[in-house]
Structure formats: structure tokens, C-alpha cells
């Protein structure tokens, strides 16, 4: 089957998921690709409607082995009709547990027909210069893999006569999903005197947890500990305070230094 366009939807506070899905899109090499960045809160106000003339690619990071809970509302509100879909999860070299099967189930429930799935590795949100985990990933090899995966999706799509002939896609994971997708409520960000109140951190926060007038003021009940504000500060003014997130950064660096590789399911 042929699709008229590709919708590239992604949530990506620190940019690794975005880099991966863009790599997949390069491999797909379709003339019409619509980027749908749902990282910022405003972008998640509009529900997505798709049809079988479109290919939907959704990329999300793995949070606690699951699809980030804050995306549930937007993802479940997708209205699709036999839309072929590609499920992509990006994790920080620890585990992806049930995130891929959860994403596949959500998209199926919205009327999509998953045709492919993949897991990629991105620099861990809690990675720092002192305690790096999967630092710099996705790297050139990962992006090369993503482009090949994109080409494989194109070939699979071309070989399918119509969306109602898409067979059920098997991906790893358990139901009921393991673990708890609730995140910590923690005051973990220190802001130094280097801060110039430029507002970049507040602008990029995916849940609007930072006061745009006063960057030290963070609503810890909405913060999802994504670390985007720390990684994006041009002044390097934001760091992790001693506490559970910093401890997790050290633990991840110690326990998950062995390189994991991307996997795909077609």
C-alpha cells in the first residue's frame, strides 16, 4: 500500500527520541513528512486525527519501563482509522520493560494498525559529565540503524495490499504491564548565580513547571524530572542537588555502562 504522507510524532525533552525518529524518517524517504512535536504542553492540547492514507510514527522515551504517564491522555485521544503505525521507544541503556508493548496497545486501541516497532538507546536523562550513562547516544551507528529501519518500513508497507491485511505485530513485553509509571515528586534542581533569567529553561519545560520570571521556582508536583532544563541551560547554571536523582545518576553510571543495541520488530 502507498500512503500520502507520514506523521512523525514525538515527545522528546532532551532530544534523543527526536533524533531517532528523524533518522527513521530519513530512511523512509517520503516526500511528505509532517513533524508533530508533542513535547511542549501547548502541542498536546490538540487531538490527532489520522486515516489509512497516512503512516503514523510515534516516538516516546521510556520512563520507569513504561510510556511516560503524562502522555496517556494525548495518546489515548488519537483518532485513527486503520492507520498503519510505527511504535518507537527510546531508553537510557537500562531497560525498556513494557514500554513498547504498552505503546503498541495504546495505538491499536485508537484504531491504528502497528506494522513495525523498535527500541533505541538515548543518553540517559540523569546522565551528567561526571556520571555519564549512554553519553552521546544516539550516535552515528544508532542513526545508521534508524535509517535502515526506515527503509525496511518502506519495503514492508509496499508489500502490504491494504491496511486491513496488516497482521498483528509481536513485540516484547508483559501484560499487565510491570512497574509503576508514577514519577518522583522531588526538589532536585540547584540554580547557581550564573543564571541570567533568560527564560530558556521555562520555555522548554514539557510540563510548564518553571516560573518564566524566576527560574529557581519549580513546581515539584508537576516536574517530571526529565532534566531538559539542566541540559539546555546555556549558562550551565542548573545542576542536580544531592538527593535521589543524583544518587540514581551515580547508580545508573555504575550498573548500566555496558552498551545496549537497538532492536526492531517487523
Ligand X SMILES: Cc1cc2nc3c(=O)[nH]c(=O)nc-3n(C[C@H](O)[C@H](O)[C@H](O)COP(=O)(O)O)c2cc1C
- Judged by the rule CB under 6 A, the positions of this chain that interact with ligand SF4 are 13, 191, 195-201, 205-207, 209-210, 215, 218, 223-229, 233, 235, 237-238
Segments of the chain assigned E as strands? 5-10, 33-37, 54-61, 83-91, 112-121, 189-191, 210-211, 214-218, 238-240, 263-265
Residue 128 Cβ, how far from ligand SF4 at the closest point, in Å? 13
Q: 93 contacts which partner out of ligand X, ligand SF4, none, CB within 5 to 8 A by kind?
A: ligand X
Binding site for ligand X (CB under 6 A): 12-17, 61-65, 90-95, 122-125, 183, 225-226
Distances (CA, A) of 87 to 57, 203, 243: 6, 28, 34
Nearer to ligand SF4, 112 or 224 (CB): 224
Nearer to ligand SF4, 152 or 207 (CB): 207
Q: 65 contacts which partner out of ligand SF4, ligand X, none, CB within 5 to 8 A by kind?
A: ligand X
Q: 122 contacts which partner out of ligand X, ligand SF4, none, CB within 5 to 8 A by kind?
A: ligand X
Residue 246 Cβ, how far from ligand SF4 at the closest point, in Å? 13
Amino acid at each position: 500500500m502507498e500512503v500520502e504522507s507520514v506523521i512523525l510524532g514525538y515527545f522528546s525533552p532532551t532530544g534523543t527520541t527526536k533524533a531517532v525518529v528523524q533518522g527513521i524518517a530519513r530512511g523512509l524517504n517520503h516526500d511528505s513528512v509532517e513533524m508533530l512535536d508533542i513535547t511542549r504542553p501547548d502541542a498536546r492540547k490538540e487531538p490527532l486525527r489520522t486515516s489509512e492514507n497516512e503512516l503514523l510514527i510515534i516516538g516516546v522515551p521510556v520512563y520507569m519501563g513504561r510510556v511516560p504517564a503524562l502522555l496517556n491522555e494525548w495518546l489515548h485521544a488519537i483518532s485513527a482509522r486503520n492507520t498503519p503505525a510505527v511504535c518507537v521507544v527510546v531508553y537510557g541503556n537500562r531497560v525498556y520493560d513494557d514500554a513498547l508493548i504498552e505503546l503498541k496497545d495504546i495505538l491499536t486501541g485508537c484504531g491504528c494498525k502497528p506494522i513495525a516497532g523498535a527500541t533505541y538507546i538515548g543518553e540517559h536523562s540523569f546522565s551528567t559529565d561526571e556520571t555519564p550513562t549512554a553519553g552521546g547516544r544516539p550516535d552515528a551507528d544508532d542513526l545508521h540503524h534508524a535509517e535502515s529501519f526506515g527503509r525496511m518500513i518502506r519495503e514492508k508497507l509496499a508489500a502490504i495490499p491494504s491496511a486491513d491485511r496488516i497482521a498483528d505485530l509481536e513485540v516484547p513485553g508483559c501484560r499487565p504491564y510491570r512497574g509503576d509509571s508514577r514519577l518522583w515528586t522531588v526538589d532536585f534542581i540547584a540554580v547557581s548565580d550564573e543564571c541570567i533569567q533568560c527564560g530558556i529553561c521555562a520555555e522548554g519545560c514539557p510540563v510548564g513547571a518553571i516560573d518564566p520570571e524566576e527560574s529557581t521556582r519549580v513546581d515539584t508536583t508537576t516536574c517530571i524530572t526529565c532534566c531538559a532544563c539542566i541540559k539546555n541551560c546555556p549558562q550551565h547554571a542548573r545542576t542536580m542537588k544531592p538527593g535521589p536523582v543524583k544518587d540514581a545518576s551515580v547508580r545508573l553510571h555504575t550498573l548500566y555502562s555496558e552498551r545496549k543495541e537497538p532492536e526492531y520488530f517487523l
